[in-house]
Structure 1
Amino acid sequence: HDLHRMGEETSEELEFIPASIKVLRHVRPKYSCRACEKHGTQTAVKIAPVKPSILPKSIATPSLLAQIISAKFQFGLPLYRQEAMFKQYGIELSRQTMSRWMLTISEKLRPLYQCMRDILLKQPALWADETTLNVLDVDKSKCYMWVYGCGTDKPRPDKSPNIVLYDYQDGRGGAHPAAFLADYCGPLQVDGYQGYEQTGAQLAGCWAHARRKFIEAKTVQGKGKSGKADQALSFIQKLYGVEQKIKDDCPAQKQEKRTDLAQPVMDKLKIWLDKSALQVNPQSLLGKAIHYTLKQWDKLQVYLHDGHVNIDNNRAERAIKPFVIGRKAWLFSNSRGGAQASAILYSMVETAKANGLMPVDYLMMLFEQLPLLNDGDDLDQLLPWHINADKNGQ
């Protein structure tokens, strides 16, 4: 007998479609007047203007540049590996050519980078961190990439900016953050590095750093044993418990609840630290943890009185991590100029991510729009937090 359809079952598979590369050819007809030519009269040749490009007279399109930058600065794929990848598609694109493109592009993006820096210095609270970088043409064993920022690593409902800016410097001296932050005098959340003392900011400490030192002290107590390190960690855990409860509150509400809930815990912890400092060997891991916390105590209190400040500096550490991961792949920068270009390009990628944008789409949009602007035009429309993530790149 004939069969009838009684329903269906669906199964799914993922199919990978490799990227394709196209050559876009722009044909611009030339026109001249034959009558003028016939009578020997000079005539101007008419031709459509060249399409504005972020890299004039280059074969690089916005999509190609965005892909190369995203591959290196978001996914840590060095240019020599990208060179091999393009070769598989039959494209001879040398790492030297791509490197020159990166240097030029970074200069094109510098006004936008400076605009972000100006906005950053107007924010109610900032954070900062730094890490080492090897630069071949700089006669120093260690150079440094600094990172400064504000906000969270996720888009905020009020569309306020999340900014992540990298800044390359030849050293780790306190003059570098002082110069970058200029006249900023608000809260600046950092680790215990003394170089930040040269800034005019109000330094806020990091409870995550203090907690790690007590965790290290706990490891020498012996497996299954409890001691003073556990007591300190218990106090700190209560402080973090308060933060978990108020994570969705506005800054004013956070400040009020920290006063009510966290301040009493902090007062008890201070009494415990003062007492324990007299009982514990200062050279032991526990003694070092106690004395570090006491030395940082004033800075560790700052977050209680300002709802814009976090309990720790983990946001800055998350911001510096992509650079650290990428550094393991490409190892070094050839020149100071290359390091400075990397700082700008990392800034664009990480700020786009922090505002919920796909970096490759955001960069492609930038490279399409920047050539259309004139000197002095407002760049606000190109800032990541002003762009709808759903329409990113369109």
Structure 2
Amino acid sequence: MSDALPSNRPTVRESVMSLCNSHARRQFVDVINHFPDEVGYILERYGSIWIHEHQVMELKLTACERLNYHQTHSLPVLAEIKLLGETHLSDGSIEENSGLGKAIRYFIKHYVGLSCFCRISGVKLDNNQIEAMLKIVVRDRKNAMFHKTLLGATIGDVITSMIATGSEAGINVFEYFTLLQREQDKVKTNPENYLPWNYLEHSNI
């Protein structure tokens, strides 16, 4: 899954290419001030597919059940938005090259990839979670300009990785780092005991 940039498409082999609905939704959000009525309705309808996903999670449906649920509830919403956009463009009520016209054309052009979660089991609605993780790497790359030496940059990379891993493990990273320094001899002897997801079992806390 990715956005629709050509540079993100695989070149090594053929694969299923699902596209991020948050990127498509953002196309409409960016022009809502210029087209409040039209975009407001589209965003209201578009937002319902995330409501459906939350309902899937609450019901703890299996992947197959989730697929059936989205086919029943979300696919008609996507089809409605596509038809609405096609109607606006064909009757000239929205200029094709306007901001909203471009958002509609983006949605129509990439409809197959955007609706992939309604056709293939396990496909996500959006790529938000992974992009949030990637931003950690991007931020570290930007901050790397302020490292004085290559060694300093390497240490910064390690620390960034540990922070990200600790956050994913759901621990208090500050307390974790403090413990690693306080019990550094034990950490060196048995580092596997001080991995973020099991250090509490082996520390003196």
Q: TM-score range by the shorter chain?
A: 0.7 to 0.9
Query: Conserved in 1, the CA contact under 8 Å of 2:144 and 2:153?
Result: no
Amino acid at match of 1:319: M
Deviation at 1:350, TM superposition (A): 0.9
Query: Percent identity among equivalent residues?
Result: 22
Amino acid at match of 1:302: C
Query: Conserved in 2, the CA contact under 8 Å of 1:205 and 1:312?
Result: yes
2:111 is aligned, of 292, 297, 303, to 297
1:123-142 equivalences under 5 Å are none
Q: Which runs of 5+ in 2 are unaligned?
A: none
Q: Which runs of 5+ in 1 are unaligned?
A: 1-188
1:24-173 equivalences under 5 Å are none
Query: Conserved in 2, the CA contact under 8 Å of 1:362 and 1:392?
Result: no
2:160 is aligned, of 331, 346, 352, to 346
Distance 1:338 1:198, change over 3 A: farther
Distance 1:321 1:302 in 2: 25
Deviation at 1:324, TM superposition (A): 5.9
State the partner residue of 1:212: 26
State the partner residue of 1:107: none
2:87 is aligned, of 270, 275, 296, to 275
1:372 is aligned, of 179, 189, 195, to 189
Distance 1:203 1:370, change over 3 A: farther
State the partner residue of 1:119: none
State the partner residue of 1:262: 74
Query: Conserved in 2, the CA contact under 8 Å of 1:251 and 1:307?
Result: no
1:286-325 equivalences under 5 Å are 286-306=100-120, 308-322=122-136
Distance 1:332 1:370 in 2: 29
User: Which protein is richer in strand relative to its size?
Assistant: 1
Deviations 1:341-377 (A, max 9, x none): 5444322221221121233455529965664369xxx
Q: Secondary structure of the equivalent of 2:17?
A: strand
Match status 1:190 vs 2:2: yes
Query: Conserved in 2, the CA contact under 8 Å of 1:358 and 1:392?
Result: no
Distance 1:286 1:237 in 2: 17
Distance 1:230 1:370 in 2: 55
Distance 1:198 1:345, change over 3 A: farther
Q: Secondary structure of the equivalent of 2:76?
A: helix
Amino acid at match of 2:31: A
Amino acid at match of 2:162: M
Query: Conserved in 1, the CA contact under 8 Å of 2:49 and 2:74?
Result: yes
Amino acid at match of 1:299: G
Distance 1:215 1:369, change over 3 A: same
Distance 2:18 2:160 in 1: 25
Distance 1:318 1:275, change over 3 A: same
Distance 1:202 1:340 in 2: 36
State the partner residue of 2:53: 243
Match status 1:285 vs 2:95: no
Distance 2:108 2:95 in 1: 15
Amino acid at match of 2:43: L
Distance 1:251 1:336, change over 3 A: farther
Distance 1:289 1:209 in 2: 10
Deviations 1:50-73 (A, max 9, x none): xxxxxxxxxxxxxxxxxxxxxxxx
Distance 1:315 1:367, change over 3 A: farther
TM-score, length-normalised on structure 1?
Answer: 0.41
Distance 1:358 1:295, change over 3 A: same
Match status 1:230 vs 2:40: yes
Deviation at 1:271, TM superposition (A): 1.9
Distance 2:4 2:150 in 1: 28
State the partner residue of 1:5: none
- Superposed CA RMSD: 3.6
TM-score, length-normalised on structure 2?
Answer: 0.72
Distance 1:324 1:261, change over 3 A: same
Deviations 1:313-366 (A, max 9, x none): 221232244456667877645567765654443222212211212334555299
Distance 1:372 1:193 in 2: 47
